[in-house]
Every structure is written in structure tokens, then in C-alpha cells.
Homo-oligomer: A and B are copies of this chain.
Amino acid sequence: MVDDRKLDVLRAIVEDYVATEEPVGSKALVERHGLGVSPATVRNDMAALEDEGYIHQPHTSAGRVPTDKGYRLFVDKLATLKPMTVAERRAIATLLDGAVDLDDVVQKSVRLLSQLTRQVAIVQYPTLSRSTVRHVELVPLTPTRLMLILILSTGRVEQRLVELDEAIGDADLAELRVAVNQASAGVQIAAAAAALCALPDDVRPEQVESTRAVVGVLAEAMSDHRSDERVAVSGTANLARYGDFDTAVRPLLEALEEHVVLLKLLGESGADAVTVRIGHEGPYTELAATSVVATGYGPLDAHLGSLGVVGPTRMDYPGSMAAVRAVARYVSRILDEGNQ
């Protein structure tokens, strides 16, 4: 099976099929690629590849189409990452450098990724769980109403309203602010939530009530894993290029509505490696016709979130992988810079 030419044939089949969207036959193959052999020879190799499950014939006397297993081999062994062009690199750099806050970074990168790959791009917002608390601010709106602002190391900002049973004075509020920040600033979010919960025990009796209210809402915001589910999606219009509406487009459109599903698709990709999940390898049988190319992002080994693209199994893996990796790197860098 370690037959070089057979691998070449497989690579050629994948490349042609991705380009043309049509089953590829032996004759067209030798013409378009410079394999120095005759169609008949290629046919023999194809028959072998089919026996081994790498390619598949939709029906007798049609060309061959790669199977998921075939794509897998292609990605693992045969694909060389397409380097980004200079223009692309520059586009990434200038676009992302102009981002003004976290929202902006996420939205611009998802857009960028979808344009680079001409696929549907997904970017997860940095998760709360790995963040540290940068600052907590308490803003009095009315005497009995506070707005809590929770600023995280990723640049993420959460806001919550708190109703107090009785008015709180400016001095008390300042004290509370200091206490809360001392307990949580610079601390990993889970630890911060814990530290905060202990806070009401240490304050003056008349402050217990208000402290408890504030701390309760803060701790809830910190452990609100619903907000870990935030994702940005872009490039759905690219689905229009899919041939097969019912098997490919519709299920994917439906999945895109469900952020939980999307996150599961992106998966917990390692920070540095680009993960490719091909067709049935993914967790959803309805999405057997779509592949996911994803990776994690975050400065150094801290995995803050994932990003990637989804598309038909018949997609440009080398190009997508390169684009995903490039964008993830830039995003990591930007987040890191904003953090110093």
C-alpha cells in the first residue's frame, strides 16, 4: 500500500474532484496531471484504491470520488499547507490591527476567515473559564441600583444589574469596590468566584446585605457558562455554492443556528495543531457531508477559544488549514498584546 504512484493518483483525484465537483475518470486524470502513465494503468491503481476504501464509484461507469477515508489520507499524508500570499498576510495584519475592542477582533476575524477560505467561518469568543479577572467596577445608577462591570483579561466585559434592598452610601460603595477587587483582581475566574463568596463574612455587619447581593451576582456572572457559548459566524452566503442543497446546505444551516452544536463541532482543538474532522468523523450524523477545520487560539498554551471553518467534505483542505492557522495566530497575538 506504500505505493507512491497510487498515492499520487489519490492526490490527483482529490484535487480534481475539489476543483470540478465531478467524479473524475482515468483519462481526464492523466491529461490534467503529468502522471507519466497511461489511463489503463491509472485504472488499475484506482481499482486497488477502491478496494482499500479510499475512493468510491457513485455507479458503474462513472468516475471516482474520494471517500472520507480518502480525504483523511490526503490530509494526513499528502497535503502540504498552501502558504498564504503576501497580499493575504497583509490583509490579515492590517484588518486585525485596526480592531478596537474584543467584539471587533472577533467579528473582523470571522469575516476575514470566511473571505479567505470562501467557507463558513466560526469564531468562539474567549471562554470565561480560562480568563483572569482584571477589574470589577461598581457604578451606582440609583441609590438602590448598581451596575456591575466585570472586566476580564481577554478584554471581555460582562455587565449585570443589582438591586439593593436599601440605599448604599458613596463611602461604603468605595469600600466595597476595593474589597471586591482585592478578592478577585488578577485571579483565575473560578478562584475569584470562590474568594468573592467568602467576602460577606469579613465586612462590617451593616454592609453584609449589600455585599452579599453584589457578590452573588458577580459569582453568578463568573460561573455563567451560557456565555461560554458565544460564537460569531460569517460566510453563510458561501453555502450557496454547494451543489447539494438537502444533504449539505440545510443541515448545516440548521446547525449554524445552534451555538452549542457549533462549539461541539469546533471541539477542543489543541492550541497549536489544526484539527480536521472529515464527514462522519464528526459527532453529528446529519452533518456527514461536512468537514470542520479548526484550531484553538490564545497566547502561548492558554486555550482561550476555538475558531475554524466548516464546509463540504469536498473542500480545499490545504488552503483552509493554512488560513485557519494564520488567523488563529494573529488573533492570539492581538489578544496577547492587549493584555500586557
Contact of A237 among B135, B245, B250, B338 (CB under 8 A): B250
Given A237-B254, A253-B239, A257-B236, A151 contacting B157 (CB threshold 8 A): no
State in angstroms the CA–CA spacing of A9 and B235 once bound together.
Answer: 42
> Once the chains are docked, how many angstroms separate the CA of A236 from the CA of B237?
10
Number of interface residues of A (CB under 8 A): 33
By the criterion CB–CB under 8 Å, are B137 and A141 in contact?
no
Scan residues 217-244 of chain A and give those whose CB is less than 8 A from a CB of chain B: 234-237, 239-240
A129 within 8 A of B: no
Return the contact of A147 from the options B135, B147, B158 (Cβ within 8 A).
B135
SS class, residues of chain A in contact with chain B: mixed
By the criterion CB–CB under 8 Å, are A257 and B245 in contact? no
Q: Give the complex CA separation of A239 and B249 in angstroms.
A: 10
**Which of the residues B137, B160, B257, B340 comes within 8 Å of A234, measured between beta carbons?**
B257
Question: Nearest-CB distance from A235 to chain B (Å)?
Answer: 7
Candidates B134, B160, B235, B249; contact of A240 at CB < 8 Å: B249
Any B CB within 8 A of the CB of A1: no
Q: Please, could you name 20 A-B residue pairs with CB atoms under 8 Å apart, sorted by A?
A: A100-B160, A101-B158, A101-B159, A101-B160, A134-B141, A135-B139, A135-B141, A137-B137, A137-B149, A139-B151, A149-B149, A149-B151, A151-B159, A157-B157, A157-B159, A236-B236, A236-B253, A236-B257, A237-B257, A245-B245
